[in-house]
């Protein structure tokens, strides 16, 4: 959904304070993501199964924020 150039710009400006987590929203993706799969903290949030990519993405984002914000 977001062009690669946007990620390049954010990486160049934020360095290691920026992390990309990619999820497939292709029509045939096996994880059941809709076209707005980028919203893993809101629309696409999942609680189960434990190995679902959206749940892992949310855990990764939360850990990243805790690390960066000192929580």
Q: Of 58, 21, 31, nearest to 42 (Cα)? A: 58
Residue 31 vs residues 17, 56, 62: alpha-carbon distances, Å: 28, 12, 21
User: Has residue 64 got a pLDDT over 90?
Assistant: no
Share of residues in the chain with pLDDT > 70 (%): 83
Cα separation of 52 and 40, whole Å?
A: 11
User: Has residue 1 got a pLDDT over 70?
Assistant: no
What is the end-to-end Cα distance of the chain in Å, rounded?
A: 30
Cα separation of 71 and 37, whole Å?
A: 27
Whole-number pLDDT of residue 36: 66
Pick the more confident residue, 16 or 50: 16
What value does the mean pLDDT of the chain take? 81
């Amino acid at each position: 959904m977001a062009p690669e150039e946007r990620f390049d710009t954010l990486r160049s400006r934020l360095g290691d304070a920026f992390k990309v987590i990619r999820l497939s929203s292709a029509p045939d993706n096996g994880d059941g993501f809709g076209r707005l799969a980028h919203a893993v903290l809101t629309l696409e949030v999942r609680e189960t199964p434990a190995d679902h990519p959206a749940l892992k993405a949310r855990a990764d984002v939360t850990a990243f924020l805790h690390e960066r914000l000192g929580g």
